[in-house]
């Protein structure tokens, strides 16, 4: 089989770096996430903070998850902010969204979610991911994997 090339263009400050990967007989496969950038390379929207409180809890306990989103440049209306809780294998055990979020240039907004941990959720480590989308889930403006962590330390039967 012939060789296949993969090219990725990465915006870095005011310059552009081009990375070329040469993979012998392997197709280039991957996920490209396009995040709109302003002129100096900074994203238009940022997820500045995220936290889960308490970070250790049991089944039937309530966790408060908060995330702050900031507009560095431009005004946004009708944003969708998605919050996922994922287990150690990356499987989403909770997905919650807030739609219609508005931000003016320079504004920050803190969004809150509350989750009562169901009895069927096993003990273990979980992470929170936050994503900010435009209307109808496009484009993706900001993403923060592993934005917060929490641990389910016991099940309802062990209480």
The confidence score (pLDDT) of residue 154 equals 75
pLDDT in tens, the chain (159 residues): 443 333 333 333 333 332 223 223 333 334 444 455 545 555 589 999 999 999 999 999 999 999 999 999 889 999 999 999 999 999 999 999 999 999 999 999 999 999 999 999 999 999 999 999 999 899 999 999 999 999 999 755 444
pLDDT at 18: 29
pLDDT of residue 15: 34
Cα–Cα dist 44/74, whole Å: 7
Which pLDDT score, from 0 to 100, does residue 3 have? Answer: 38
Rounded to two decimals, the pTM is 0.71
Instruction: Give CA–CA dist 133/41, Å, rounded.
Output: 19
Domains delineated in the chain: 45-158 (2.70.50.60)
Distance CA 11, CA 41 (A): 6
Q: Which of 79, 20, 72 is nearest to 46 (CA)?
A: 72
Q: What is the pLDDT of residue 99?
A: 97
């Amino acid at each position: 089989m012939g060789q296949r090339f993969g090219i990725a263009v990465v915006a870095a400050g005011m310059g552009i770096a081009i990375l070329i990967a040469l993979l012998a007989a392997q197709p280039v496969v991957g996920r490209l996430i396009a995040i709109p950038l302003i002129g100096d390379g900074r994203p238009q929207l940022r997820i500045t903070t995220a936290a889960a409180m308490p970070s250790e809890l049991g089944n039937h306990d309530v966790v408060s998850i908060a995330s702050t989103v900031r507009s560095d440049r431009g005004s946004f209306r009708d944003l969708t902010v998605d919050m996922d809780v994922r287990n150690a294998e990356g499987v989403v055990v909770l997905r919650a969204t807030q739609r219609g979020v508005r931000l003016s240039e320079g504004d920050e907004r803190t969004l809150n979610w509350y989750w009562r941990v169901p009895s069927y959720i096993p003990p273990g480590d979980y992470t929170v991911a936050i994503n900010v989308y435009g209307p109808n889930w496009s484009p993706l403006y900001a993403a923060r994997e592993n934005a917060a962590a929490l641990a389910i330390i016991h099940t309802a039967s062990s209480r």
